[in-house]
Each structure stands twice: as structure tokens, then as C-alpha cells.
Amino acid sequence: MVPENFKESGFMYAIALAVVVFVIAQSVFFIVKSWKRAKELGIKKETLKNTAVSSAVFTVAPAISILATVIVLANALGIVLPWIRLTVIGNLAYETTAAQTALDFWGGSLKNAVTDPQQFSTIAWAMTVGSIAPLILLPFLCKKLQNKIGDVVNKSEKSKKLGDAISAAAFIGIISAFLAREINGNTVTSVEKTDALGNVVLNADGAVEKVKMITGSAGAISILTLISAMVFMVILTFICKRFKLDKLEPFTMPLAMFGAMGMAILLTNVLPESVSGFYWYDIGTIVG
Amino acid sequence: MQKNYFDKVHRWGIIWNIGALIMLLCIPVAISVHVNAWPEGAALLQVMPKLMALYWVTAVIEVITYVPMLGAGGTYLSFVTGNISNLKLPCGLTAMENAKVRANTEEGEVISTIAIGVSSIVTTVIIAVGVLVFSPILPKITGGAFKPAFDQVLPALFGALAAGYFAKHWKLIFAPVIAGVVVLFFSPSMGAGTLMFVTIVAAVLGAFVMYKKNWL
């Protein structure tokens, strides 16, 4: 007998809470071990406290964004499965693709609520099996990779300047990928094909036909937000140094982030729509 | 001494990692039992190869890219809780920058792990409280007047993160940013996880050339 509201039953909530407990337990375990080791290494208690508090503040806005993606998926899958999936490993792009790929088998869409238990169960399997690869790889790769990196760094320290430059370059390489995407990237999503009247087009097998469409793009606001964040960060860092505000220093990064998000609201409302709505790639264009 | 601590972290990490794997696989099993329906074999046979080709290959790239940056403890935590590129990685990098410690040192290891651990707890709590308490009103917060702000979380986050590094190492930024933008001209929808491979190689090569030419 399948429970009527199987997607949001007490059992589903119990699974979600078990996952939450696991994630928090693992995090607390590693924090406690690292904190103890940090004390042995002579790292100041204040540095550790600042690390914890600034990381917590830094996390708030991105976490609310992740929460919003849970709500996006809730329409089709109920609130609990997306909650579970975005608490462990998941991210919106992956979970949406996995769920939609599973639904494609039946010609279904995430726009509609999934009501068939077998489809729901297949989606849960697809989301899980597709995403577990890192957990299988890490026990074999993590230690080896770190030892190799350690060797490279230690060798490079014979010429410390080169070691430092390469280390900084690797960090900058990561950040640059995100900057480049905000300057010139777009997001392509698989969507249902519709005819001129807006009706869904079916293929020869009777399944809904899919096309790839640009659903997001870098443009004026993303670049201005990026620049605002940099300017806020430079100003806040200058203020901290000029007035010796050591306690404020760990919070410059989250403050700059919130400031830039505020600027995004301001600019969207103040700039003419021809500027604020300017994107490099036309949203809604079919690309394949 | 340093080696011993890293060995311990790897041992703890592998144990938690296996626990997470078992827990994760129990979720669809429990759901299938709960809804009294197991996945249709034909559906899984059609769906899984597509997803595994896409995400298992990406997983290899992500592990190789992120492990050197996150530290051992941070890696084991991040790969369980997810949202690495948009949250855990910048969080760990910022914490190490603020504490003035380097990745791949024991100091960097503990600071990165504390930052990522705290970030994981805060994210988990915000999502849980949000789902249990705020889910009816959340679309009004993220979709209403604040929508432009939440649409721009990533440029705000990476702009702020970049400013700190770029101020110190401005000569190193040109090669990777130009390489990234050029690659996106040809493949604008390439995800940051894959693009990172290109930009890291460009940044490291650029640094090496500048070092050789005494420009640094």
C-alpha cells in the first residue's frame, strides 16, 4: 500500500533528518579534530574563531540560493527529495538533469508534479547513482594526489619564489574560470519543444520532443556586480588597514558580497532596461 | 609529525566517506520500499549510461582539480556535502587567505577544514530550517524584490574573492581570464568545473613564463 502523499510523508522526512544528522556529525567531527590540531600547531584561538564566524557569515547568501533551488524542484518532486539531494553531494544543475533524464524515459517533464511512485523511485536512483562517483574515487585518489602535490610544492620550495607563484597561479586559475563565465558565459538547458501556438511537440514515439535553449547569460548586470564586489572588497580592505580594524578584516569578504548583491538590486531598478536587461546571448534562443 | 596528522585525516576521511556512500545508497532503497515500487529496469538501462558518461567523467576532473585546493579534511567533507565550486571551495580559499596560511601545509589543512566544516553545518541548517519553516514564503524572498540579488550571488562571491588575490598577484590574472573568455567564445555554455582545467593550466604556464623572464 503506497502512502497517499508518498513524496512528503513522515518516512521521507525521517530519511531527510537522518541525512542532516549524518552531515552535521561528520562536520563536527572534522572541526573538533582540526581545532585540536590547530592548537597544537600554535594557531591563535582568535584566528580559529574568526575562521569559523566569517565562514558562517560567508555561507548565508549562497545557502539561501541553494534553498531556493530546493523549492524549484519541489514542484515536481515534493520538498523532501530535493532537500535530501541538495544536502548530500547535490547541486541544482546535476539534480535537475538527472531527474529530467529519468523522466524523459516516460516523456514526462519536471514542470509537472511526479505522481507515479515508480517514476519517483527511478528518479531517486538516477540522482543517487549518477552522483556517487566522487565518493568511490576519493578513497583511492585523495591521499595519492595530496602526496604528489606535497612533493611538487616541497621541490618547488627549493626555489621558493617559483613555488609561491605557481601556488598563487593555481588559485587564480580557479577563480578565473568563474570570472570568465560571468563575463562571457551562458547557461543552456534542455526544454520542451513547442509549436507556434505554444503546444508541446511530440516525436514519432509519442514522447515530448526536447530542444536546447539558452536560459541564462552573462551581461551588463553580472559584469557590474562583479566589478562592484571587487570595488567593495578593495574599499573595505583599505578601511580595515587604515583604521587598524583587525576584527572587521575576516568579514570583508562576506560584506563585499552582500554589498555587491545590494548593488545588483539597485542597478536593476535604476538603470534603463536596455542596459540592465542587456545580455551577450539572447535568452530563449534555441541552440541545438 | 606532519605526515602522521595527514595520515590520520585520510583514515578518518575514508571511514566517513564509506559511511556516506552506504547512507546514500540506502536512500533510494528506502524510498523504493516506502513507495512499494522499484525502478523500471529498462528506464535505468537507458538513463544511467547517459548520466554516468556525463557525471562520472566530470567527477574525475573535479577530484583532480579540487583535492589540491581543499586539503584532505576539506575534500572529504566537501564531496559529501556538495556545492563545492559555488560555496565550499571559495569558503576554504577565503579562510586560508584571511588566516595567512598556505594550502598543502598543516596550517592550511586545519583552517580549510574548519571553514568547510562550519560552512557545511550552516548550509545544512539553513536548508533544513528553510524547508521546514520558510518554504511557503521563500519564493517571495528570492523571487520578489530580492531576485536581482540572488540571481547575482556567483559574480558577487567571486568578484569579492578575486579582488583579494588580484591585488597581490595582478600580473598573474591576464593569462587565465583571457584564456577562459576566449574558450567561452567557442563554447559559451562550458561549465566552470571543466573550464577550470583550461584556466589553471593557463595561469600556471603564465606564472612559469613570467618567472623565467624575471617579470614576477
Residue B81, in any domain of the structure = yes
Check if A207 contacts B (Cβ < 8 Å).
no
Q: What is the mean pLDDT of residues A250-268?
A: 90
Residue B173, in any domain of the structure = yes
* Statement to judge: residues A121 and A192 lie in one domain: no
DSSP element (H, E) containing A214 = strand A210-217
Residue B31, in any domain of the structure = yes
Residue B21, in any domain of the structure = yes
Q: Do residues A128 and B25 lie in contact, with contact meaning Cβ atoms separated by under 8 Å? A: yes
So what's the pLDDT on residue A56?
A: 95
* Statement to judge: residues A221 and A101 lie in one domain: no
* Statement to judge: residues A115 and A7 lie in one domain: yes
**Which domain-ending residue is among A66, A96, A131?**
A131
Q: Is the pLDDT of residue B216 over 90?
A: no
Q: Is the pLDDT of residue A230 over 90?
A: yes
Q: Picking from A83-97, A158-172, B19-33, which range would have the lowest pLDDT averaged per residue?
A: A158-172
**Which domain-ending residue is among B117, B135, B153?**
B135
Choose the closest CB to A71 out of B18, B138, B169: B138
Q: Do residues B104 and A146 lie in contact, with contact meaning Cβ atoms separated by under 8 Å? A: yes
Report d(CA A15, CA A29) in Å as an integer.
21
Boundaries of domain holding A234: 185-288
* Statement to judge: residues B29 and B107 lie in one domain: yes
* Statement to judge: residues B198 and B104 lie in one domain: no
pLDDT digits (tens, 9 = 90+) for A35-92: 999 999 999 999 999 999 999 998 998 888 888 778 778 878 888 999 999 898 877 6
Judged by CB atoms closer than 8 Å, whether chains meet at A260 and B155 is answered as yes
Boundaries of domain holding B207: 169-216
Q: Picking from A121-130, A217-226, B82-91, B113-122, which range would have the lowest pLDDT averaged per residue?
A: B82-91
* Statement to judge: residues B186 and B114 lie in one domain: no
Hey, of A100, A160, A176, A187, which one would you mutate to test binding to chain B, going by the most B CBs within 10 A of its CB?
Answer: A176
N- to C-terminal Cα distance for chain A? 44
Q: What is the mean pLDDT of residues A3-26?
A: 91
**Which domain-ending residue is among B91, B114, B135?**
B135
Q: Is the pLDDT of residue A127 over 50?
A: yes
**Which domain-ending residue is among A131, A147, A165?**
A131
Residue B143, in any domain of the structure = no
Q: What is the mean pLDDT of chain A?
A: 85
* Statement to judge: residues B78 and B27 lie in one domain: yes
* Statement to judge: residues A109 and A219 lie in one domain: no
Between residues A110 and A214, which one has the greater pLDDT? A214
Q: Do residues A137 and B60 lie in contact, with contact meaning Cβ atoms separated by under 8 Å? A: yes
Q: Do residues B122 and A56 lie in contact, with contact meaning Cβ atoms separated by under 8 Å? A: yes
So what's the pLDDT on residue B111?
A: 96
Residue B157, in any domain of the structure = no
pLDDT interval class at A200 (50, 70, 90): confident
Number of H helices, E strands in chain A: 10, 2
Judged by CB atoms closer than 8 Å, whether chains meet at B142 and A64 is answered as yes
Residues of A in contact with B15 (CB under 8 A): none
* Statement to judge: residues A2 and A100 lie in one domain: yes
Judged by CB atoms closer than 8 Å, whether chains meet at A89 and B164 is answered as no
Domain count, chain A: 2
Residue B32, in any domain of the structure = yes
Q: Picking from A119-133, A175-189, A219-233, A266-280, which range would have the lowest pLDDT averaged per residue?
A: A175-189
Q: DSSP characters for A108-167? A: --TTS----HHHHHHHHHHHHHHH-HHHHHHHHHHHHHHHHHHHHHHHHGGGHHHHHHHH
By the 10 Å C-beta count (0-12 exposed, 13-18 middle, 19+ buried), A113 is classed as exposed
* Statement to judge: residues A20 and A96 lie in one domain: yes
Residue B47, in any domain of the structure = yes
Reported ipTM: the value is 0.81
DSSP state of A200: B
Q: What is the mean pLDDT of chain B?
A: 87
Q: What is the mean pLDDT of residues A145-162?
A: 67
* Statement to judge: residues B59 and B120 lie in one domain: yes
Q: Is the pLDDT of residue A231 over 80?
A: yes
Question: What separation in angstroms does the CA of A48 have from each of A44, A200, B206?
Answer: 7, 56, 34
Domain count, chain B: 2
Percent helix, strand, coil in chain B (nearest 5)?
85, 0, 15
* Statement to judge: residues B43 and B106 lie in one domain: yes
So what's the pLDDT on residue B1?
A: 44
Q: Do residues B149 and A264 lie in contact, with contact meaning Cβ atoms separated by under 8 Å? A: yes
